[in-house]
């Protein structure tokens, strides 16, 4: 079995951003030479997420609104007593999860219709990393 690792770095303009990273993951797969296996894509920070969904502007805005309802920015979270003020970002990350695993078949990501990979940032404007780890043959 072979493996390949690549890191992506993000420093978003805004505190909250959603970035389609499918093309970057596909490029890493191409470089890996792996034809059959799996790709792990994982945010290496606890205030960011990686998820799979449709790349549709209305849906992304719906996701942002849903997250804001479930983990609103502004309340005095207990976490803020540590000197941090990003309690909502930690909770939003938990809701969308920090990683995904996608299958590789015949050298391509084996997606269903409309599926894309996204990096979601909830406490940006500083360097953050994502790991892409590909394993297979």
Q: Is the model more confident about 76 or about 49?
A: 49
Query: Would you say residue 77 lies in a domain?
Result: no
User: Domain residues for 101?
Assistant: 2-72+85-136
pLDDT band at 74 (very low <50, low <70, confident <90, very high): confident
* CB-based contacts of 125, cutoff 8 Å, min separation 6: 11, 12, 13, 14, 15
In tens, the pLDDT along 42-63 reads 999 999 999 999 999 999 999 9
Query: Would you say residue 64 lies in a domain?
Result: yes
Query: Would you say residue 78 lies in a domain?
Result: no
Residue 76's pLDDT is 86
Domain count, the chain: 1
CA 91, distance to chain mean position in Å, is 15
Residue 92's pLDDT is 98
Query: Would you say residue 107 lies in a domain?
Result: yes
100: β partners:
41
- Residue 119 neighbours by CB distance under 10 Å: 21
CATH, residue 122: 2.60.120.460
């Amino acid at each position: 079995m072979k493996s390949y690792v690549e890191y992506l770095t993000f420093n978003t303009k805004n505190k909250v951003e959603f970035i389609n990273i499918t093309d970057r993951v596909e490029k890493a797969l191409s470089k890996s030479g792996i034809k059959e296996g799996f790709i792990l894509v994982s945010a290496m920070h606890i205030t960011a997420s990686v998820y799979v969904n449709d790349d549709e502007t209305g849906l992304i805005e719906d996701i942002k609104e849903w997250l804001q309802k479930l983990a609103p920015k502004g309340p005095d979270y207990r976490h803020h007593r540590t000197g941090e003020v990003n309690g909502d970002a930690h909770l939003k990350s938990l809701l969308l999860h920090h990683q995904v695993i996608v299958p590789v078949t015949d050298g391509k990501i084996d997606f269903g219709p409309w599926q894309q990979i996204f990096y979601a940032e909830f406490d940006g404007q500083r360097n953050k990393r994502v790991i892409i780890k590909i394993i297979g043959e």
